[in-house]
């Protein structure tokens, strides 16, 4: 763990910029995208985006997780506050840094796309929205699980385009899939990719 990591600064940045974060519980295989409303001492107050059909299973758990940029926290306490919920940052709550370098988040409207050569036919180009990106990897937003985005699959070529211009290309490995409910209430899948080589720019 990086001892110089500014945890409070990262949380404050997510609050001020309304950067989406994810909350989940040990009893569910789905996460909920939300935003930080307030930081009140050890309590991170979030908009409650847990859909009614998941609430009972969500609250009847003993562990909760908050993913904020490259940070992942664990807590035994999440308490309701009307239309919000408070996640308590406890001693030793910080589990891990999921990436060593700073992560940039993108909204769907920012038109950051990945063009991916289908590893199974080496002909088809798959285009998916990039959710976030760092120097070591990125994550994609897809509508449903599919074979090319299964964990462990090597993608021989992925090209990132920002506003229609080629930013970088590299092979990558699929390292995880995570179902989540987005801020609009739609079920999506986040696919995490780790770059195999340093991306070539331009």
Which H, E and C letters describe the chain, residue by residue? CCCCCCHHHHHHHHHHHCCCEEEEECCCCEEEEECEEEEECCEEEEECCCCHHHHHHHHCCCCEEEEECCEEEEECCEEEECCEEEEECCCCCEEEECCCCCCEECCHHHCEEEEEECCCCCCCEEEEEEEEECCCEEEEEECCCCHHHCCCCEEEEEEEEECCEEEEEEEEEEEEEEEEECCCCCEEEEEEEEECCCCEEC
In the chain, pLDDT over 90 holds for what percent of residues? 67
pLDDT above 70 (res 180): yes
Identify the band that residue 95 occupies on the pLDDT scale cut at 50, 70 and 90. confident
Parallel, antiparallel, or unpaired for β 71-75 and 104-105? unpaired
**Predicted local distance difference test score (pLDDT) of residue 111:** 85
Look at the pTM and tell me if it is higher than 0.75: yes
pLDDT above 50 (res 92): yes
Average pLDDT over residues 92-111: 74
**Predicted local distance difference test score (pLDDT) of residue 199:** 78
Average pLDDT over residues 79-102: 79
pLDDT tens digits for range 134-170: 888 999 999 999 999 999 999 999 999 988 888 878 9
Higher pLDDT, 99 or 190: 190
**Predicted local distance difference test score (pLDDT) of residue 1:** 44
**Which range has the worst mean pLDDT, 21-30, 65-74, 91-100, 188-197?**
91-100
Query: Going from the N-terminus, what domains does the chain have, and what CATH number goes with each?
Result: 7-97 (2.30.110.10), 104-201 (2.40.10.220)
């Amino acid at each position: 763990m990086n001892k110089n990591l500014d945890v409070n600064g990262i949380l404050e940045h997510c609050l001020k910029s309304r950067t989406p974060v994810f909350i989940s519980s040990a009893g569910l295989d789905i996460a909920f995208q939300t935003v930080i409303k307030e930081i009140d001492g050890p309590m991170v107050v979030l908009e409650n985006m847990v859909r009614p059909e998941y609430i009972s299973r969500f609250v009847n758990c003993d562990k909760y997780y908050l993913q904020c940029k490259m940070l992942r926290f664990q807590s035994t306490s999440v308490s309701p506050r009307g239309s919000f919920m408070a996640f308590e940052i406890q001693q030793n709550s910080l589990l891990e840094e999921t990436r060593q370098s700073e992560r940039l988040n993108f909204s769907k409207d920012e038109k950051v796309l990945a063009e991916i050569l289908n590893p199974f036919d080496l002909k088809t180009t798959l285009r998916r929205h990039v959710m976030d990106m760092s120097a070591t990897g990125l994550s994609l937003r897809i509508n449903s699980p599919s074979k090319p985005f299964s964990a462990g699959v090597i993608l021989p070529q992925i090209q990132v385009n920002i506003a229609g211009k080629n930013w970088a290309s590299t092979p990558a490995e699929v390292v995880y899939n995570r179902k989540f409910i987005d801020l609009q209430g739609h079920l999506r899948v986040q696919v995490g990719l780790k770059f195999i080589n340093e991306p070539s720019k331009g």
